[in-house]
Amino acid sequence: MDTNPSQLIQTVLLCGLALGVAFGALAQATRFCTMGAIADVVNFGDATRLRTWVWAALVALVGTQALIGLGGVDLSASIYTGRRLSWLAQGLGGLAFGFGMVLASGCASRALVRAGGGSLKALVVLLVVGFAAQMTLRGAFALPRVEWLDPVGPLLAGPQDLPSWLSRHVGLPLPWLRAALCLLLAVPLLLWLRRSRDFLQPGPLLGGLAIGALIVMAWFVTGSLGHLSEHPETLEPAWLATNSRRPEALSFVAPTAYTLDLLTLWSDRGTVLSFGITTVLGTLLGAAASALLRREFRWEGFRDVRDTAQHLVGAVLMGAGGVTALGCSIGQGLSGLSLLSAGSFIAVAGIVAGAVAALRYQAWVIDRDG
């Protein structure tokens, strides 16, 4: 394999763009949406889209754990498997993100897909998400996050993913635990999935399968293709073209902020393309291409002042919450859960709780005004 860092960086960036295009096209064509999945269950009792989401998460989980178990990649350095289990930050961040994604008519990835389909209000949401994420990464919101939220939680003896945690406490080999946990999760979930005839149609079934596979591919790209065990300049391990300088998969809040950084600081040599940025741009392009090919491209704007205000508040909550929780409904929901990260389970629980609370709030407002 070529170990020239410059060429490897180009490979990682191009792969990120391709993965983003594929995700955007698939999400647009299949209406893959975390908020929509939760809303369908809460408002209509329809779990078809939730089953598609769970199927994608299960494919990502089994594929990623198999990739790790076969020695294809080492993801122990990922941000999702750190030793600090910041349960307060991930829980509160998840709550804020979940509430915000309902107010903003979808999560950050859905906003990218909708913007690609002609939604100008989704474009505004993306800009505000990126700005709020910037403020939370290193701006006005960063101090309370770093000083008050991130330190709250135990410092574990090793990685926080469940296989590693169990291995430390029960002494069983990691490969056995990975296989056992995958089996324990996969069997009941598959039994639940097959109970729905609507889910077993080609669209939901193949769409979830493909999106889950994209998560596995992303881990392989950043964790294997873009990994140098010894960088020729620093003589230290390096993960090339990632903002975290660690292996990454698909995530859309912090990368949206990094995309704004690149666009606004283009002449700054310290601001460069990254895997996350190319996946954001690719998702936008893929969604636009799919919408045009399917003749579903439609210009869309805000209905009124109230609609505008609601989306702006939701975007701020998503940007701040996504960074605080270390990921969005895709970053923590699909990428983080694929590693069986304890923090990801906390963040996803917060996202679901926040979304349900926001849906109840919206129903209350409709009843009050009706």
Which pLDDT tens digit goes with each residue over 230-289?
A: 888 888 999 999 999 999 999 999 999 999 999 999 998 888 999 999 999 999 999 999
pLDDT of residue 195: 94
pLDDT of residue 2: 55
User: pTM of whole model > 0.75?
Assistant: yes
Which of helix, strand or coil describes residue 271? coil
pLDDT of residue 193: 97
pLDDT of residue 3 exceeding 90, the answer is no
| Gap between the Cα atoms of 323 and 316, Å rounded | 11
Per residue in 292-318, pLDDT (tens digit) is: 999 999 999 999 999 999 999 999 999
pLDDT of residue 94 exceeding 90, the answer is yes
Identify any residues that bridge with 239 across adjacent strands, giving them in sequence order: 227
Per residue in 150-173, pLDDT (tens digit) is: 999 999 999 999 999 999 999 899
CB 150 within 8 A of CB 340: no
pLDDT band, residue 15 (cuts 50/70/90): very high
Per residue in 41-57, pLDDT (tens digit) is: 999 999 999 999 999 99
| Gap between the Cα atoms of 9 and 14, Å rounded | 9
- Which two structure tokens, joined as six digits, stand for 17? 């763009």
| Gap between the Cα atoms of 58 and 225, Å rounded | 24
pLDDT of residue 270: 83
DSSP at 294: T
pLDDT of residue 155: 98
**Residue range 188-200: mean pLDDT, rounded:** 95
Pinpoint the alpha helices (H) of 221-301.
Answer: 254-264, 275-293
Burial class for 272, CB neighbours closer than 10 Å (0-12, 13-18, 19+): middle
Q: What mean pLDDT value characterizes the chain? A: 97
119 phi, psi to nearest 5 deg: -80, 110
Pinpoint the alpha helices (H) of the chain.
Answer: 5-30, 34-39, 48-69, 87-103, 108-116, 120-138, 142-144, 162-170, 174-193, 202-220, 254-264, 275-293, 305-324, 342-369
| Gap between the Cα atoms of 288 and 291, Å rounded | 5
pLDDT of residue 119: 98
Task: Name the nearest CA neighbour of 153 among 10, 347, 367.
Answer: 347
Lowest mean pLDDT among 4-8, 315-319, 322-326: 4-8
Domain ranges of the chain: 5-369
